[in-house]
Amino acid sequence: MFDFVEKNKTSVQVVLGLVALGLMVGVGVQGLSALQGGNNYLAKVGSTEITEADVAKATQGQPVSNEMKPMVVRQLIDRQLVLEQAHKLHFGPSADQLRDTIAAYPVFQENGQFNNQTYQKVLAAQGMSPKDFEKLMSDDLAGRQLLSALPLSVIASNATLDRLTRAIGEKRLVAGALINPADYLAQATVSDAEIKQYYDKNAAQFKLPEQVKLEYIALSRGTLVDAQVVSDADVQKYFDEHQKELTREQRKASHILIAVAPSANAEQQKAAQDKAEALLKQARANPAKFGELAKANSDDKGSGANGGDLGWFDDSVQFVPEFKAAALKLGKGEFSGLVRTQFGFHIIHIDDVKTRTLADVKPEIVAQLKQQKAQTAFQAQLEKFNDTVYNQADSLKPAADAYKLAIMSSDWVSKTSAKDSVLNNPKLLEAVFSDDVLKKKHNTEGIETLPGTVVAARVVDYKPAQQQPLASVSADIQIKLKQEKAAKLAADDGAKKLAALQKGQDVPLKWQEQRELTRMGDRSVDPKALNGLFSVPAAKLPAYASGNVPGQGFVIYKAIKSIPAEQPGAGERKGLMTQLERAYGKAEQDSYLDGIKANFKVVYGHGMTAPAKPEAQ
């Protein structure tokens, strides 16, 4: 219920801990720029630069939209600010704390125990030394110590909770009427002079950037997997070393869920419990009919369609704790009693129990060992691959022949984007426009553009930046201006209709289907319109407000009636109080973080700007 209290708060906790994530995707976020070098940055905190590479690592190499990138950069800035303040105040782990934290990561363990050889091997595969990694981990722990020293919660009063539950839980029945810009297109005329004026004023918008076409080769770890040979002795050795986790007892289970909404009152909860108890009685009387009962009654539609089947699982499964504990206690053919979780009431039946043998797990072991061998082979090939593309820099053919790689051709590529995902990497795009590659026609170095894929490229064609002539873009400009004029005509007419409604006049509109909204709203309703709909007392409804819906246009909303909030039960009330107090504590933390920002210089670069203060919701 109180998600809205925190939704606009700083997410420092999200980026603290990305070092650990870095073990799976590459070098940790903090310090990555220093390890890679380069002068281009998106932001700088003190002397620490935040680059495109940091963003790529923080998002695990996934494409980042222009809307999302500032949010990621802001989180990385907040993380660095925390670290700067932590160092200033001499926070940091002891040697023992640092050692114990690192030793606890499963990726560094063999048979549940820290293994130094594995530790060294994992870091080497990521191109890191233990010294580098331990510095990153020490920084992370220092930041966590600073945040943990701030208050986690602040006491809130019952009166405050009552006011908030009433306000947040209230619903309003709302209808909407779209004032569609498409209905005004015929009235929107655009002259040649307006098109020329827009073209001249926005000339940069119609300038095509310099572009290149590339030849490239891609060395991929994935292509090496099938060629790896795993012997029975290799499989047996791995099985002996990992027997405990490989041979966990497994259960095949089915269940029926009778859902209970978080806002359900005592009467509704009792009704759900009674229904679940009746179904449990039927299931125990005729176990063979359990699948039919699940299909007809389970509110878990995914498993219900399959007779409640949840498949095989062991004690590592990520079920909710109450469900997991109950399921693991049952033997083959047994039923649980009613199991209450956050989702409702469950009835669990164990269809079968087994312990996996070497024969059962052999395919998994073979696949795992092939991946490991492929990684070793890939690392060995990579060094020679890089030597070849560097030492024979005038052609990709020697490297392509040596590693049996196809030389591929790209479409036009700019400094900021490429259609092919394997080429759409900031470091590669920067490299192909460097003087060494663009002017001297040399190969790029091998660059990891996707996890496990290294690309070397060379330029085969070039187009300088050029201005598109007016004739080639005139039609597009006309459409844009016509749509803008139609949208303004619709909004102006909509504003007149809204004013008339607010004066009590009758305005013929096509009201769409009514729906219930809370103050939380949804993404389809303009927040300002939502505020207007809830600002009018319930006794004075109907209320009218307007807003713009992206991709649709001007919408007039009508709040028809108020639906009072349901009072939470004692258990839910206790949980809501805890959330509220934590939200207040989070606000205290954010206030402290705002203070930190005043003490350290933050510089924005490469199109990044300081974020505007969020509007109050």
- Per-residue confidence (pLDDT) for residue 153, from 0 to 100: 56
Which amino acid does the sequence have at 217? I
Nearest to 484 by CA among 204, 188, 193: 188
Residue that wins the pLDDT comparison between 470 and 136: 470
Q: What is the pLDDT of residue 34?
A: 40
Sign (positive/negative) of CA torsion 276, 278, 284, 286? negative
Rounded mean pLDDT, 296-322: 89
- Torsion-angle region of 183 (φ positive above 0: left; ψ -120 to 50: alpha; else: beta): alpha
Indicate the domain borders of the chain.
Answer: 3-152+596-604, 171-205+470-563, 210-219+375-464, 248-355
Q: What is the pLDDT of residues 505-542, one digit of tens each?
A: 999 999 998 989 888 767 778 888 888 888 889 899 99
Q: Which of 307-316, 535-544, 594-603 has the lowest mean pLDDT?
A: 594-603
Other CB atoms within a 10 A radius of the CB of residue 329 amount to: 11
pLDDT value of position 152: 59
Is residue 21 pLDDT above 90, yes or no?
no
How many whole angstroms separate alpha carbon 443 and alpha carbon 434? 11
Domain 3-152+596-604 sits in CATH at 1.10.4030.10
Q: DSSP letter string over 410-476?
A: ---B-SS--SSTTT--HHHHHHHTSHHHHTS-PPPPPEEEETTEEEEEEEEEEE--EEPPHHHHHHH
On the question of pLDDT at 2 being above 50, the answer is: no
CB 393 within 8 A of CB 442: yes
Cβ(323)–Cβ(339) below 8 Å: yes
614 pLDDT higher than 70: no
Give CA–CA dist 74/611, Å, rounded: 8
pLDDT at 12: 35
Residues of the chain with pLDDT > 90, as a percent, come to 47
* 340, containing H or E segment: strand 339-341
Summarised one tens digit per residue, pLDDT across range 266-279 is 899 999 999 999 99
Could you read off the pLDDT of 470-502 as tens digits, one per residue? 999 999 999 999 999 999 999 999 999 999 999
Q: Is the pLDDT of residue 215 over 90?
A: yes
3-class DSSP state for residue 335? strand
Residues 6+ apart with CB under 8 A from 324: 315, 317
More confident residue, 504 or 14: 504
User: How confident is the model at residue 36, as a pLDDT?
Assistant: 41
Q: Do 606 and 40 form a contact (C-beta atoms < 8 A)?
A: yes
Please, what is the angle between helix 358-391 and helix 232-241, to 10°?
A: 110
Is the pLDDT assigned to residue 333 strictly greater than 50? yes
CATH architecture of 248-355: Roll (3.10)
Neighbours of 304 (CB within 10 A): 21
Is a pLDDT exceeding 60 seen at residue 183? yes
**Between 63 and 436, where is the model more confident?**
436
pLDDT at residue 35, rounded to an integer: 38
Task: Answer yes or no: is pLDDT of 154 > 60.
Answer: yes
Nearest to 293 by CA among 285, 323, 313, 268: 285
Q: What are the structure tokens assigned to 312, written together?
A: 């095989």
Q: What is the dihedral of CA 111, 113, 367, 252, to 10 degrees?
A: 60
Segment 396-408 mean pLDDT: 96
| Cβ pair 310, 253 in contact under 8 A | yes
Q: Are 430 and 414 in contact (CB under 8 A)?
A: no
The pLDDT-based confidence of 69 (bands split at 50, 70, 90) is: confident
Look up residue 131 and give its two tokens: 């010294």
When pLDDT is cut at 50, 70 and 90, the band that residue 613 belongs to is low
Using the predicted structure, report yes or no on whether residue 126 has a pLDDT greater than 50: yes
pLDDT band at 117 (very low <50, low <70, confident <90, very high): confident
The residue length of the chain stands at: 617
pLDDT score of 316: 81
Query: Has residue 1 got a pLDDT over 50?
Result: no
pLDDT at 94: 87
Q: What percent of the chain has pLDDT over 70?
A: 90
Average the pLDDT over 175-180 and give the result. 94
